[in-house]
Amino acid sequence: MKKPFVFIHSLISLDGRLQGHYMKLPEETAAAPFFKGIGFSGRIYNSNTQLCGSKTCELDYTYGNKPDLDENAAPVPEGDFIAEKNAEAYLIALDRKGTLGWQQNFVPYAGVKQHVISVITEQVSNAYKDFLRRKGVSYIICGDKDLDFEMIVEKCATLFDNIKDIKVTGGGYVNWAFLRSGLVDEVSVVIVSGADGSSKTPGLFTAGEGNFADIPVALDLIETEVDKESGGVWLRYKVKKVWDYDEFDKEIGFAPKDFIAVDNSGK
């Protein structure tokens, strides 16, 4: 499989929230340039491609707009639709059901226009694919009803000339699904000097079902940096091991165990 370099890059609160009221704090505002400098300037990472889930895209880019569908549209050609093969930058939007109402075929981010690539499944209607074509939004079909993550990265690497790496930016389900799929090379987080405390806001990783369940992934810490101006802390990890269920159950087990940090000598 042809695979670009894939990394997760997220700005989070001390308790691991991707979003929440902590984002209104001056500490978050102060840490944002540090975060962008690591992920977007080329000082550490030089990615021109960002990948987001549908909820993140709706919040940050389509703002709840509904697609302008023509239910009587003529059948579109079979297969993928590549509107811009050599764009300067890309936004890969995971939208398996075809719900995002794009108003144009790009989003401005970090000073460039990111051409939108909509990742859909076979279940998406002809009307929605016609809508994407009218907007000039590229789309790739990856999976029947559920997204095939290996197919996503392979198609992005082969169908678009300028995608050499992919920066995964959430939400929590997307981050975890890519990590559990064994497709992520590195995890990069900048921790803001602030906590959120909410259990309702999305976290850095959120487990799903099947292969995306809460089976651990081991990481190696390879670099750290503290931004003295904001108090933000950068942690950079290489993915060490993605455990599968049977292997983890055999070697470690899912039964409750004593924590090493707790003194159990009196038992």
User: What single string gives the DSSP state of each residue in 211-253?
Assistant: GGSS--EEEEEEEEEE-TTT--EEEEEEEEEE--HHHHHHHT-
Q: Which residues contact 215 (CB under 8 A, 6 or more apart)?
A: 180, 243, 244, 245, 248
Q: Are 199 and 1 in contact (CB under 8 A)?
A: no
Both tokens assigned to 117: 């690539």
Please give the pLDDT value at position 266: 63
pTM for the whole structure: 0.91
Q: What is the mean pLDDT of the chain?
A: 94
Instruction: Mark out the alpha helices in 144-219 (DSSP H runs).
Output: 149-159, 172-180
Confidence of residue 43 (pLDDT cuts 50, 70, 90): confident
Number of domains composing the chain = 1
Q: Are 101 and 65 in contact (CB under 8 A)?
A: yes
Task: Find the CATH number of the domain harbouring 230.
Answer: 3.40.430.10
Asked, for residue 258, whether it belongs to a domain, the answer is no
Q: Where is average pLDDT lowest: 74-78, 197-201, 255-259?
A: 255-259
Task: Give the domain range for residue 175.
Answer: 5-251
Please give the pLDDT value at position 191: 99
Asked, for residue 260, whether it belongs to a domain, the answer is no
Asked, for residue 265, whether it belongs to a domain, the answer is no
CA separation for the pair 18, 165 (Å, rounded) = 22
Asked, for residue 261, whether it belongs to a domain, the answer is no
End-to-end CA distance of the chain: 52
Is residue 86 predicted with pLDDT exceeding 70?
Answer: yes
Asked, for residue 257, whether it belongs to a domain, the answer is no
Angle at 35 between CA 164 and CA 61, to 5 degrees: 70
CA separation for the pair 21, 201 (Å, rounded) = 9
Is residue 51 predicted with pLDDT exceeding 70?
Answer: yes
| Closest C-alpha to 91, from 107, 104, 80 | 107
CA separation for the pair 215, 255 (Å, rounded) = 13
Is residue 209 predicted with pLDDT exceeding 90?
Answer: no
Q: Are 67 and 184 in contact (CB under 8 A)?
A: no
Asked, for residue 215, whether it belongs to a domain, the answer is yes
Q: Measured in whole angstroms, how far is the alpha carbon of residue 153 from the centre of its chain?
A: 12
Instruction: Mark out the alpha helices in 49-114 (DSSP H runs).
Output: 54-57
Asked, for residue 174, whether it belongs to a domain, the answer is yes
Distances (CA, A) of 112 to 35, 45, 106, 161, 221: 17, 16, 9, 17, 31
Quote the radius of gyration of the chain (alpha carbons, Å). 20
Asked, for residue 259, whether it belongs to a domain, the answer is no
Q: Are 178 and 162 in contact (CB under 8 A)?
A: no
User: Element (H or E) spanning 99, and its range?
Assistant: none
Query: Is 89 strand, coil or helix?
Result: strand
Residue with more model confidence, 26 or 257: 26
